[in-house]
Chains A and B, each alone.
Chain A
């Protein structure tokens, strides 16, 4: 017993001595510690263009041009200027368009070699090869028919498209460029023209090319061998733990006044911390300098806490995403737009913004984000109005004929009661909105059943099969000013594999969507977008809720700014504010 007792005390004391007395290491002045919610899986913009991955690769890889987060216009990064579209009137590509592009002289890779048109051509070839896992971009880059390099200037080239289309310029210049000599050491793509690499018959049996594809899709180029033209270099990655980037020395873009080329902290250390309570504790004790996607309640409590609020800066950039409730326009109960309008009147969206988002959101009228120049601000926001909803239902022929408290109507000869299902995935916001909707709908004689399911199941079993009434969802958009509305709002996308999940059909809207894709004049384009929104607004195909704001907290030891570009900040533009604030005392 004595031995065991002593052993226990010894073990406990030893553990406490080794572990307990150690608190957190102090972060140094030039190291920025960022909390990320999950491991990015891969750091490879072409293969894994997800938001978490982008939060890291945006400092390593650069595209030829990108959207200015303030003006939402394309700005040159690796290229000298934004090219203008040239129509092709003759020759092999007659009827198509092209862009003449020139890469900056000073743009260099890490080994000092210049970034050239060959690198661009290689990147497009890598994307277009059918076996590489770059399907998201391939949809766009397959429209590039050829890349012709200027024989007298290896940085100049012409990008040719077989036909004109809305996103041709963005496709040509908004792609991260990969270093050919680094990613294709075997030069396996050299012997194929761009048009040939798409053709599996022409590349069949080429083992060298197959080995390139395997490597390109593989683990190394996404986890260890990561190199680009950006201001930071990849240092290390501990899966599910940390990712470290370090400022490049003698960086070619250091003196160019473009935000994405700036160099700020010496090191950026991304900590994977999924749990918010844990992340919050780290933020408070100074071992993490900033966190994004803070929940509204935590954000508000931190702002109110006088002990803490003077140690942190709070940012609410508006991000390009919005929330809506899908309505199945093809369902017999919901095919009348007066019924859909009545449903729109049944949600007090202003209250939702105030109570669930602490006022940090902007309401919207249709499928275009309010920060975009194409947004139709002439349309009035729909108000919460139970009486109007009642009147609309009555006008549409819905009344409580059997006095059971639920409105009904004869559809195809059968008495149908207005009982609707709203499918939610268990997210807190969706749940609360659904319950509000249920409560308000009961006031006008509509019964709403809240059905909770896994979102993948909702997608597969309800949205794709159009067997639903209402489904809340989130729509994420790019910063590009010209949204492609054909996927979600064109009748041709109302198929089991299409994304017009509302089964929304309006031939005039279809025509306008087709027209905007080929419209050349910016004023005309904006007018068309506004008209489309007006038509969609009048049809009430969905309940458009609001565009939420991001919630970012940053330690005041950093001078920081937020941006509208996801993830809402550019860490390379942060500068040290001098003395550390908020570290452990």
Chain B
């Protein structure tokens, strides 16, 4: 069993590495640009006079001018160091032309020539009637549209020649180019700190990411674990009785009751509870307003929890209703199937009380499925419930993650995902070990060659 546990835990490392890579690659695929987000936070909107200069500053400061990863594989006509192009427009236009299989040297040459010619022609007042058409070339990145467009421009021979040179750069055959970028890459810079849980500061507000995550995590964990505990207790009690006395009035009523609750969307329930139970307008001001947090930092966490406890009950209620419905049905079905087993009939025949049969014989055998469910819920406890957090204004992990994605604050997103990944992987490993303990056959299946 020890060997199995060690082996299982060793899988954690490669899995973590894969998760880190996946998160990193996904962030690169997302169109939110952290440098642009920083400009926006500074009050620099698109088109602002200082936009290009400030963008370049943030782009470099954030290390976005470095290669993304240790290695890259790309067609050999692609720019070998595309991230080095600090000017966003040029970089995007380079990519747009590259996508049409044009070699990067031809594109570089065209872009430089184009801008020089546009400057020259726009300065020429005799060409004023053509200025709109001349300017338009700055926006065209489709080679065919460009070919058509330049024919109508003044000095069209020069333009046509430029575009035909660009066309010559189009390639049909190419080889993949494998490049080694060394450790001066974005992933390495992030990963070497992330593995020691040093996440740096948030670009959104300059706060330490560790502090932000810690602050959000405490509320998320508090809510989630209370919800999980209540879910487990209530649904095991309700489900086990329903399963054991399947077809009884309790089974029928509880089935309808939980199904009704399960059908209610939690965000709607949350809004209804807030409207009707936190205001005296409808005469039911029995709970405190949600999210009216006035938490004294000097208090201990327990003190903070007690001070804000009145606001926790409604979100917990919304979090548990769906889970209880599901979990109680799961328990019911397991208990029911165990009750049909021969050992239960034998126990009944021996005259053992129903209560003892249920808790001594039936429940232990139903536990494996329930443990699977509960283990699966633990990582979710760390990720928070976005909608409930937003509606009840709880500054938890769900909200933090959502805001960070909105602001392209990838360092915060990485940190959260990494924490959730670590928790998930470790929980799954513990879960596996736990199954083995509950049912030693699992080990045998795993270790015995078929």
Chain A residues in contact with chain B, CB under 8 A? Answer: 1, 4-5, 7-8, 11, 15-16, 18-25, 39, 41-42, 47-50, 130-131, 133-136, 138-139, 217-219, 222-223, 236, 238-242, 269, 271-275, 277-278, 280-282, 284-285, 287-288, 307-308, 330, 412, 454, 456-457, 459-460, 463-467, 487-488, 491, 493-501, 503, 505, 507, 584-585
A497 touching B47 in the complex, CB below 8 Å, given contacts A5-B237, A240-B399: yes
- Give min CB distance, B354 to chain A, whole Å: 10
B39 at the interface (CB under 8 A from A): yes
A11 touching B230 in the complex, CB below 8 Å, given contacts A1-B359, A459-B46: yes
**Stretch binding the partner chain, chosen from B7-15, B191-199, B304-312:** B304-312
When chains A and B are docked, how far (Å) is the Cα of A135 from the Cα of B40? Answer: 10
Q: Is the Cβ of B41 less than 8 Å from the Cβ of A18? A: no
A135 touching B39 in the complex, CB below 8 Å, given contacts A8-B237, A281-B279: yes
- Give min CB distance, B184 to chain A, whole Å: 22
Name A135's contact: one of B50, B148, B215, B294 (CB within 8 Å). Answer: B50
Q: Is the Cβ of B89 less than 8 Å from the Cβ of A278? A: no
- Identify the interface centre among A1, A42, A240: most chain B CB within 10 Å of its CB: A240
- Give min CB distance, A85 to chain B, whole Å: 22
Top 3 A-B pairs, shortest CB-CB distance = A499-B47, A22-B310, A240-B395
Q: Is the Cβ of B271 less than 8 Å from the Cβ of A277? A: yes
Given contacts A275-B390, A308-B281, A584-B280, 17 further A-B contacts (CB under 8 A): A19-B287, A50-B43, A135-B42, A219-B201, A222-B206, A239-B207, A242-B293, A277-B271, A278-B391, A285-B281, A287-B288, A288-B292, A456-B31, A494-B132, A496-B139, A499-B46, A499-B47
Residue of B nearest to A496 (CB): B89
- Identify the interface centre among B41, B53, B234: most chain A CB within 10 Å of its CB: B41
A501 touching B292 in the complex, CB below 8 Å, given contacts A20-B286, A285-B278: no
Q: Is the Cβ of A285 less than 8 Å from the Cβ of B138? A: no
When chains A and B are docked, how far (Å) is the Cα of A130 from the Cα of B359? Answer: 72
Q: Is the Cβ of B50 less than 8 Å from the Cβ of A330? A: no
Q: Which residues from B are CB-within-8-Å of A41?
A: 41, 204-205
Q: Is the Cβ of B393 less than 8 Å from the Cβ of A278? A: yes
Q: Which residues from A are CB-within-8-Å of B148?
A: 412
B57 at the interface (CB under 8 A from A): yes
Q: Is the Cβ of A282 less than 8 Å from the Cβ of B131? A: no
A223 touching B206 in the complex, CB below 8 Å, given contacts A133-B42, A240-B395: yes
- Give min CB distance, B29 to chain A, whole Å: 13
Interface size of B in residues (CB-CB distance below 8 Å): 79
Q: Is the Cβ of A134 less than 8 Å from the Cβ of B31? A: no
B54 at the interface (CB under 8 A from A): yes
30 CB contacts below 8 A, A to B, read: A1-B355, A1-B358, A4-B233, A15-B313, A16-B313, A131-B57, A133-B38, A135-B43, A135-B53, A218-B206, A219-B205, A223-B206, A239-B212, A242-B294, A273-B292, A277-B275, A281-B279, A281-B290, A282-B289, A284-B279, A287-B289, A330-B139, A463-B46, A466-B136, A494-B135, A497-B47, A500-B47, A501-B47, A505-B135, A507-B128
- Give min CB distance, A536 to chain B, whole Å: 16
A24 touching B288 in the complex, CB below 8 Å, given contacts A136-B50, A217-B206: yes
Q: Which residues from B are CB-within-8-Å of A274?
A: 390, 393
Residue of A nearest to B215 (CB): A239
When chains A and B are docked, how far (Å) is the Cα of A136 from the Cα of B41? Answer: 10
Residue of A nearest to B240 (CB): A1
- Give min CB distance, B274 to chain A, whole Å: 5
Q: Which residues from B are CB-within-8-Å of A49?
A: 42-43
When chains A and B are docked, how far (Å) is the Cα of A134 from the Cα of B39? Answer: 10
- Give min CB distance, A199 to chain B, whole Å: 15
B52 at the interface (CB under 8 A from A): yes
Q: Which residues from A are CB-within-8-Å of B446?
A: none
Q: Which residues from A are CB-within-8-Å of B208?
A: 219
Q: Which residues from A are CB-within-8-Å of B293?
A: 238, 241-242, 271
When chains A and B are docked, how far (Å) is the Cα of A11 from the Cα of B204? Answer: 40
Residue of B nearest to A130 (CB): B57
Q: Is the Cβ of B135 less than 8 Å from the Cβ of A223? A: no
When chains A and B are docked, how far (Å) is the Cα of A282 from the Cα of B311? Answer: 12
Q: Which residues from B are CB-within-8-Å of A288?
A: 289, 292
Q: Is the Cβ of B135 less than 8 Å from the Cβ of A48? A: no
Q: Which residues from B are CB-within-8-Å of A493?
A: 47
Residue of B nearest to A493 (CB): B47
B291 at the interface (CB under 8 A from A): yes
Q: Which residues from A are CB-within-8-Å of B313?
A: 15-16, 19-20
> How many residue pairs at the A-B interface have CB separations less than 8 Å?
222
For chain B residues 146-185, which have a beta carbon within 8 Å of chain A? 148
Q: Is the Cβ of B215 less than 8 Å from the Cβ of A273? A: no
- Give min CB distance, B17 to chain A, whole Å: 31
Q: Is the Cβ of B274 less than 8 Å from the Cβ of A278? A: yes
Q: Is the Cβ of A284 less than 8 Å from the Cβ of B54? A: no
Name B206's contact: one of A219, A242, A282, A487 (CB within 8 Å). Answer: A219
Q: Which residues from A are CB-within-8-Å of B374?
A: none
B24 at the interface (CB under 8 A from A): no
- Identify the interface centre among B88, B128, B139: most chain A CB within 10 Å of its CB: B139
Q: Which residues from B are CB-within-8-Å of A4?
A: 233, 237
- Identify the interface centre among A4, A280, A467, A497: most chain B CB within 10 Å of its CB: A497
Q: Is the Cβ of B41 less than 8 Å from the Cβ of A138? A: no
For chain B residues 294-324, which have a beta carbon within 8 Å of chain A? 294-295, 297, 306, 309-313, 316
When chains A and B are docked, how far (Å) is the Cα of A135 from the Cα of B309? Answer: 44
B44 at the interface (CB under 8 A from A): yes
- Identify the interface centre among A281, A454, A496: most chain B CB within 10 Å of its CB: A281
When chains A and B are docked, how far (Å) is the Cα of A584 from the Cα of B287? Answer: 12
A42 touching B206 in the complex, CB below 8 Å, given contacts A136-B50, A281-B279, A330-B132: yes
Q: Is the Cβ of B47 less than 8 Å from the Cβ of A584? A: no
Name B44's contact: one of A135, A242, A459 (CB within 8 Å). Answer: A135
Residue of B nearest to A500 (CB): B47
Q: Which residues from A are CB-within-8-Å of B382?
A: none
- Give min CB distance, A539 to chain B, whole Å: 12
B49 at the interface (CB under 8 A from A): yes
- Identify the interface centre among B49, B52, B138, B310: most chain A CB within 10 Å of its CB: B49
Q: Which residues from A are CB-within-8-Å of B41?
A: 41-42, 48, 50
- Give min CB distance, A306 to chain B, whole Å: 12
- Give min CB distance, B414 to chain A, whole Å: 19
Q: Which residues from B are CB-within-8-Å of A460?
A: 31, 92
Q: Which residues from B are CB-within-8-Å of A584?
A: 280, 285
B48 at the interface (CB under 8 A from A): yes
- Identify the interface centre among A130, A136, A271, A494: most chain B CB within 10 Å of its CB: A136
Q: Is the Cβ of A136 less than 8 Å from the Cβ of B135? A: no
B65 at the interface (CB under 8 A from A): no
When chains A and B are docked, how far (Å) is the Cα of A563 from the Cα of B208? Answer: 37
When chains A and B are docked, how far (Å) is the Cα of A504 from the Cα of B205? Answer: 37
Residue of B nearest to A460 (CB): B31
When chains A and B are docked, how far (Å) is the Cα of A287 from the Cα of B205? Answer: 28
Q: Is the Cβ of A330 less than 8 Å from the Cβ of B31? A: no
When chains A and B are docked, how far (Å) is the Cα of A554 from the Cα of B119? Answer: 55
- Give min CB distance, B123 to chain A, whole Å: 11
B254 at the interface (CB under 8 A from A): no
Name B31's contact: one of A42, A218, A271, A457 (CB within 8 Å). Answer: A457
- Give min CB distance, B129 to chain A, whole Å: 9
Q: Is the Cβ of A505 less than 8 Å from the Cβ of B132? A: yes
- Give min CB distance, B299 to chain A, whole Å: 12
B108 at the interface (CB under 8 A from A): no
When chains A and B are docked, how far (Å) is the Cα of A355 from the Cα of B297? Answer: 46
Residue of B nearest to A282 (CB): B289
Residue of B nearest to A7 (CB): B233
- Give min CB distance, B142 to chain A, whole Å: 10
Residue of B nearest to A220 (CB): B206
When chains A and B are docked, how far (Å) is the Cα of A138 from the Cα of B294? Answer: 37
When chains A and B are docked, how far (Å) is the Cα of A272 from the Cα of B291? Answer: 8
Q: Is the Cβ of A219 less than 8 Å from the Cβ of B54? A: no
Residue of B nearest to A135 (CB): B54
- Give min CB distance, B340 to chain A, whole Å: 21
Q: B358-390 interface mask toward A, CB cutoff 8 Å, 1 = contact, 0 = none?
A: 110000000000000000000000000000001
Residue of A nearest to B275 (CB): A281
